[in-house]
Amino acid sequence: MNKADDLLKANIINILTNGSVDENPRPKYKDGTPAHSLYISQVYEKYDLTRGDFPITSLRPIPIVNGIKEIRWIYQDQTSSLEQLRLKYGIVWWDEWDIGDGTIGLRYGGTIKKYDLMNKLLYNLLHDPYSRRHIISMWQEEDFQETKGLPPCAFQTMFTVRNVGGKMYLDMTLTQRSSDYLVAGHINKMQYVAFQMMVAKHCGYEVGNFAHFVQNLHIYDRHIEQAEILLERTPSTQSPILKLNVPDKTDFYSISEKDFELINYEPVKPQLKFELGV
């Protein structure tokens, strides 16, 4: 069992055993029923990517390729257009959050573009690598006032550069206010590991540590059965590794999901189905 499988099972047990029940939840299922959840708070995980320690569970298949496509939509295309997400990448899971104009509002990619956050990050990592201010924050109150839309869940990344024996290593921390654990938890982890690898390649750095902090980690009431199935599953004995097969110092904007290779990934099947709380 790899570290990600251990942590997934431990967190599920913690949520089912000690989780708090939310009251008057905002999300609803498609039939209009309030989507209640059990949740725990302040959950932190850390992975050493240099040692092949990747945050991907083998207890169910994770759509990593689509997760990387979503990263491209946000940080390369820098748009909130759902049409572009569908036509360019074939991803439709954001359609439920259409605010009525074919977008998710001034959120995610729209915020990245408005404040030129991606280009500023890349410039500063190259020209002032030891700064303690390498931060992308999509939590912008001005944007929330300008348009409707779901505030970003995975809203902040922080970067640190370390020189170890003459090699430059890039560490990254992803911060989430909320995580629908069984549906998106490991998609978010692995898509942001891919993001970290893309940024590191642009700068000519090695990937270092990946850390993930979630303030509210929850399991919806209609996902309890799936949680119990995951606890019963026997994980793969393989240790999955994500590789980025491009030359050093490749331009961030030229890297695509086709440049990644997932090795030793043998997830347990069948895939589980989840009803979304929107």
Tell me the catalytic residues.
153
Residue by residue, DSSP assigns 1-63 as --HHHHHHHHHHHHHHHHPEEPSS-S-B-TTS-B--EEEEEEEEEEEEGGGT-----SSS---
Q: In this structure, what are the phi and psi dihedrals at residue 89, rounded to the nearest 5 degrees? A: -120, -10
**Distance of alpha carbon 255 from the chain centroid:** 18
**Tokens coding 118:** 């991606």
Burial class (CB in 10 A: 0-12, 13-18, 19+), 233: middle
Cis amide prior to 270 (ω within 30 degrees): yes
**Tokens coding 177:** 């206010």
Instruction: Tell me which DSSP letter residue 107 carries.
Output: -
- Give the whole-angstrom CA distance, residue 195 versus residue 201: 10
